[in-house]
Amino acid sequence: MSRLNIFLAVVLVLCALGVIQAQHRSRTYFVELERLKKEARALDEQWGQLQLEQGTWANPARVDMIARKQLGLVAPPQDRVHVETLAGNP
pLDDT interval class at 84 (50, 70, 90): confident
Amino acid at 65: M
CB 56 within 8 A of CB 50: no
Q: Where along the chain do its domains lie?
A: 2-74
Distances in Å between the Cα of 19 and the Cα atoms of 4, 29, 31 are 22, 15, 18
Exposed/middle/buried for 60, CB within 10 Å: 0-12, 13-18, 19+? exposed
- Summarised one tens digit per residue, pLDDT across range 5-40 is 999 999 999 999 999 999 999 999 999 999 999 999
What are 38-56's pLDDT values in tens digits? 999 999 999 999 999 999 9
| Contact (Cβ atoms closer than 8 angstroms) between residue 46 and residue 40 | no
